[in-house]
Amino acid sequence: MNKKYFIILLVFFFIIHIKETYGCHASGGGCENRSNYKCGAQVTYANLQPNSILNITVKSPDYLDGRGASAIGHFSMHVDNNGGGYYFFKKPIWINGCHCSSCENIPLSYNSQWQFDLPTPPKGTGFDIWIAIYWSCLVGTRSVPCNSENVHYRGYVN
Ligand SMILES: *[C@@H]1O[C@H](CO)[C@@H](O)[C@H](O)[C@H]1NC(C)=O
Ligand SMILES: *[C@@H]1O[C@H](CO)[C@@H](O)[C@H](O)[C@H]1NC(C)=O
pLDDT of 130 higher than 90: yes
Helices first, then strands: H and E counts in the chain: 1, 9
| Ligand 1 close to Cβ of residue 78 (< 6 A) | no
Q: What is the mean pLDDT of the chain?
A: 87
Q: What is the pLDDT of residues 5-47, one digit of tens each?
A: 766 666 655 555 555 455 789 999 888 765 545 688 999 999 9
Distance 125 CA to ligand 1 centre (A): 30
d(C-alpha 119, C-alpha 139), whole Å: 40
Q: What is the pLDDT of residues 64-75, one digit of tens each?
A: 667 799 999 999
d(C-alpha 83, C-alpha 65), whole Å: 42
Ligand nearest to the CA of 47: 2
Section 85-94 average pLDDT: 97
In the chain, % of residues over pLDDT 90 = 59
What's at 135, amino acid-wise? W
What's at 89, amino acid-wise? F
| Ligand 1 close to Cβ of residue 51 (< 6 A) | no
Q: What domains are there in the chain, each with its CATH number?
A: 25-156 (2.60.40)
Query: Residue 128: is it exposed, middle or buried by C-beta count within 10 angstroms (0-12/13-18/19+)?
Result: middle
Point out which residues pair with 77 in neighbouring strands.
86, 129
* Number of residues in the chain: 158
Residue 9: per-residue pLDDT: 66
Residue 94: per-residue pLDDT: 95
Distance 47 CA to ligand 2 centre (A): 9
